[in-house]
Structure 1
Amino acid sequence: ARWSPSGDRIAFVSNSGEGSEIYVYWNTSNTTSKLTQLENGPSSISWSPDGKHIAFTMKVNAKAPVIASMPAKPKGAKWAKPPRITDRLKHEADGAGYLKPGFNHIFVISSEGGTPRQITTGNFNHGGNISWSSDSKNLVYSGNRNENWEYDFRNSELYSSNINTKEITALTDRNGPDYASKVSPDGKHIAYLGYEDKVQTYQLTQLQLMKSNGENKKVLSNKLDRSINTAIWASDSKGMYISFDDKGKTKIAFIDLAGNISDIVENVGGTTLGRPYASGSFSVSNSGKIAYTYSRPDRPADIAMVTKKNKKPIVITAVNDDLINYRTMGEMEEVWYKSSVDGRDIQGWIVYPPNYDSNKKYPLLVENHGGPILNYGNRFSTEIQLYAAAGYIVFYPNPRGSTSYGEEFGNLLYNNYPGEDYNDVMDGVDTLLKRGVTSEDKLYVTGGSAGGIMTAWIIGKNSRFEAAVVAKPVMNWISKTLVADNYYGYANSRYPGQPWENFENYWKFSPISLVGNVETPTMVMVGMNDLRTPPSEAKQLYHALKLRKIETVLVEIPEASHGIASRPSNLITKVAHTLAWFEKFK
């Protein structure tokens, strides 16, 4: 939803009828009107500064290729459905399934309604954030209009289009993604996110700045060795409010036009309820008040307010107090320890069972995060709290390769994954054993996606765990790299070359190469519609363990894509089956 510049209307997208449409709510009269009747669903809606227009993106359908024609159907015959044919590099996406052919274009419609006008044309994709010039005459957006756009999939540029002439002007031209454009309120500058592609596993997303005509480009956030998540202009155009992850915490800060950064708050998040990933959002009023999702380890997000000067959060909602106040939650502790590989400092967190007794030794459940270019942190997690409530001390680390520790740390997995991140996880386990909170015969391990890879790698490297749950893993980089929905993006950024060019490395880092060592009872879990780490990957592990007569079970979640726990009932299913498997081997 988007407020109009005058604050009297809210534009939003709803699929309450037949398909998604743009609606406008008038807060003075408490009425809602449907603005569009579109062929496909709109996205990225954006008001013009004068309030007269709304821009949006929408897919314009294209015809699928036809290779052969069928003869006339006999009278009364009922034929099978025709084949589905594609010649596109990207033709499916996890969570969306098969992608119908077409191209995303920019449209503009009067805020009073009428027929939308298509601003961009051609067999190219456009989209991302749409930002208006201060005079409401031009749009700034991202796209890839390069001749080799399909294979140049990491690249995107910023373009400007006049809404009357539809003339397109390229504002950036470099090898790498440029996106999330924001025109300053005074119209003089455009801020945007992106980086120069160096073809490596992890690259910092930087805040860039240029004049509104595309001149005088510079990196504004070069004093910060962290990726920028979001940037919002201050109303006086003298700087921007930004968010970024730093050592497992999501922060909001202010950056001026000289690149000087001052932190404001560091407890943003709480909206990714399954596992403790970075999440949350914020907005800034014209007066400089910041509303944001306020995260604490023991409860989901509430809304809080701060300003640059008054940095103490004022929490204005209590969404879950009627439940949380009658529950005892597990307490969280931040832990740091040294890696045995090179002495690096590694960060992790422990959540203790409710009513923890320090005189007892509890079973230790290791939860490995996905990505691997992601991070866990001191954020609320339903799964972690449920594991703790079942009597486990839950340990979740950020080994090398995790984000929020800088580009060098995040890029340590290039051509070395899984690698020494395994040592970082096990060093954390050994640290907790030395502290005496658990014992060697009470260790359990799980994780999903890249966390599933790590879990499979761990049980292939040692037999120290009583049981394991490997969720939605990659077991074989050769098959995964050529089957997953994002198959085209792995070569060179993770391992040099394509699988057939570098078979040895792709196999060396495949957990299936270690399956002959596995002795740990293992549950394998996967969504049946997972296109990111396809079910065939999970089945490779399950089938190999069955052939070796290792105790194992395969749990397939119907209709679930890669985000197994995106539906609440599936989150319950995931946790319940994980705990039941571990209880079996206590």
Structure 2
Amino acid sequence: MNTTARSLFIFLVSLPLTIPLFGQTRRPLEIADLFELRTAGAPSISPDGAWVAYTVSHLDITADRRDVDIYMSSLTDPAAEAVRLTSTEGSESSPRWSSDGRYLAFLSSREGNGSQVWLLDRRGGEAIRLTNYDGSVSSFTWSPDASKLAIIASDADPNDSNDSDVREPIVITRLQFKRDGQGYLTNRHRHLHVFDVTTKNTEQVTDGPYDDSSPAWSPDGSLLAFVSNRTEEPDSNANTDIFLTEPRSDATIRKLTTSEGSDGSPSFSPDGTFVTYVAGGNPSDIWYAPRYVAIIPVAGGSPIHLGAELDRNGSSPRVTPDGEYVLYLLEDEGNRHLAKIPISGGAVERVVAGERTLSSFDLDKNGNIVILESQPHYPGEISRVDPGGLTRISQLNDKHLATIKLAPVERFTAVSADGTPVGAFLTRPPGEPEGTELPTLLRIHGGPVSQYSTAFRFEWQLFAAHGYAVVAANPRGSSGYGFEFSRAIWADWGNKDFDDVIAAVNHLVENNIADPNRLGIGGW
């Protein structure tokens, strides 16, 4: 069983079910519902604007793993049934259309030995394996003419060629020995390759003791942008920069950005004259440093930070087809919106706002936009952005959630000991009358630079279904509330942030929502 699910199950077998079932057309949420819910991801619009491909993931309790498959839905007929494109035991990810719309490429580990690129022909037939790198492929992108792929692949794992049951020892010679999300840090690295789709030939473009990521083609296919930390000792800092190179092995690699912060997420303008990216802040501010959207000429020069006056983090920038705006995800006080800002500078405009959290979006050459969003009452789903609002494209959980009485989630603002306002969320048991003092659980997020948001949270809903009020605050140190709010706990953990989360609990006690004699705490 999934670790999170197992922990919740063990804890919840002892919790009393306080919500009566009789007379209700919907039932309370149960732990078993965790395995029924689906989450969409990685939306990708077809070149003709008629379809969106995306991933659908769910927890498989029998296989004890997360399964991910690829689906396709009509953008012109949202009521049409989604088409399932993959159904293997191995998980698939990162669907990407070729520019002519004939092929849909994706990553899959269905044959073991890490992920490789697979190809589906829209005319029919089974997916075929396209690449055969010794190491695993972590990302890829099509060239503008659909003849090549830019690929990030790791060096080979020596244990993959070891027929013995005894694995080779892990030898560490680097400054760091382990990292979250990567494991032990050996001398295996991730490099940029260019793969010819017709001949199946591959050419390694980068090498050395560096890890490369986020490849992006220029519109004419003559350049590749990528992200790398190529300082003298990459393990001693987080100084990633944007680099440019021609798509061949003997080409010169040119450093485009030169800040000491963490630059990333490059994307070319439609005319190929500049690159938009996410600019990291001052490394002395470590995790608290703001991340602003920026543009920089391909020829080099000084970057221009866009929207910095708003004092909110940005991510995933893309230039609109007319070259006039940068679209990006904007983190703001418990929400993540889709925003745009003029290339020439000016005010930030919300394209998609409201009480929702966007995880990603895609934009095609005609300006069509799809988003991946979640709200307190549903997990991630795909929606089309229309002039008058949003049109839901996927309905992965609508039928199942229609049988469940979900708990209401509301915002409130507490006042900390020094007068600082603290944003928080309260999830009440469904159907519980106001004025009832409830057993209350305080949940604390990790990071500390992250935020509780308006995204669906199964954990909050599950506790509330068993009669608990759940309070989740964004104390100082959190992102989404500006640089000074986040940096307020620099080298001072456990003081201001402690006051802030306790203030949220006190607010509920003072308003006769939380029972002061039945309080619990937990987090991650």
TM-score scaled to structure 1, two decimals?
Answer: 0.68
Q: Which residue number in structure 2 is paired with residue 393 of structure 1?
A: 469
- The RMSD of aligned alpha carbons is 2.2
Of 117, 121, 138, which residue of structure 2 is paired with 1:22?
117
Of 231, 235, 247, which residue of structure 1 is paired with 2:321?
235
What's the CA shift for 1:232? 1.7
Equivalent-residue separation in structure 2 for 1:82 and 1:56 (angstroms)? 27
Secondary structure, aligned partner of 1:223: helix
Equivalent-residue separation in structure 1 for 2:483 and 2:131 (angstroms)? 44
Q: How many residues align?
A: 422
Equivalent-residue separation in structure 1 for 2:143 and 2:165 (angstroms)? 50
1:216 to 1:360, Cα distance in 2 relative to 1, 3 A: closer
Contact 1:243 1:250 in 2 (8 A): yes
1:163 to 1:6, Cα distance in 2 relative to 1, 3 A: same
What's the CA shift for 1:382? 0.4
Secondary structure, aligned partner of 1:175: coil
Of 447, 464, 485, which residue of structure 1 is paired with 2:523?
447
What's the CA shift for 1:24? 1.7
Equivalent-residue separation in structure 1 for 2:211 and 2:181 (angstroms)? 20
Equivalent-residue separation in structure 2 for 1:244 and 1:115 (angstroms)? 40
1:82 to 1:198, Cα distance in 2 relative to 1, 3 A: closer
Equivalences for 1:85-96 in 2 at 5 Å?
85-96=171-182
1:101 to 1:216, Cα distance in 2 relative to 1, 3 A: closer
What's the CA shift for 1:215? 2.4
1:142 to 1:268, Cα distance in 2 relative to 1, 3 A: farther
Amino acid at match of 1:335: F
Q: Which residue number in structure 1 is paired with residue 65 of structure 2?
A: none
Equivalent-residue separation in structure 1 for 2:240 and 2:222 (angstroms)? 23
Equivalent-residue separation in structure 2 for 1:82 and 1:130 (angstroms)? 32
Of 463, 468, 478, which residue of structure 2 is paired with 1:402?
478
Equivalent-residue separation in structure 2 for 1:347 and 1:234 (angstroms)? 33
Amino acid at match of 2:520: Y
Equivalent-residue separation in structure 2 for 1:327 and 1:62 (angstroms)? 46
* 2:89 paired with 1:4: no
Secondary structure, aligned partner of 2:318: strand
Of 493, 500, 506, which residue of structure 2 is paired with 1:424?
500
1:361 to 1:236, Cα distance in 2 relative to 1, 3 A: same
Q: Which residue number in structure 2 is paired with residue 299 of structure 1?
A: 378
Q: State which structure, 1 or 2, has the greater radius of gyration over its C-alpha atoms.
A: 1
Structure 1 segments of 4+ aligned residues over 6 angstroms from their partners: 78-82
Higher RCO (CA < 8 A, seq sep 6+): 2
Q: Which residue number in structure 2 is paired with residue 171 of structure 1?
A: 256
* 2:131 paired with 1:52: no
Contact 2:437 2:513 in 1 (8 A): yes
Of 140, 143, 147, which residue of structure 1 is paired with 2:232?
147
Equivalent-residue separation in structure 2 for 1:8 and 1:149 (angstroms)? 40
Contact 1:233 1:239 in 2 (8 A): yes
**What's the CA shift string for 1:374-404, capped at 9, x where partnerless?**
1002221100000000101111111111110
Contact 1:36 1:113 in 2 (8 A): no
Equivalent-residue separation in structure 2 for 1:355 and 1:49 (angstroms)? 54
What's the CA shift for 1:154? 0.8
Q: Which consecutive unaligned segments of at least 5 residues does structure 2 have? A: 1-94
Of 417, 430, 434, which residue of structure 2 is paired with 1:340?
417
Secondary structure, aligned partner of 2:323: coil
Amino acid at match of 1:235: P
What's the CA shift for 1:336? 0.9
What's the CA shift for 1:31? 4.6
Secondary structure, aligned partner of 1:282: strand
What's the CA shift for 1:145? 2.2
Amino acid at match of 2:139: S
Of 388, 391, 400, which residue of structure 2 is paired with 1:323?
400
Richer in strand (by share): 2
Equivalent-residue separation in structure 1 for 2:165 and 2:488 (angstroms)? 55
Amino acid at match of 1:157: D
Secondary structure, aligned partner of 2:144: coil
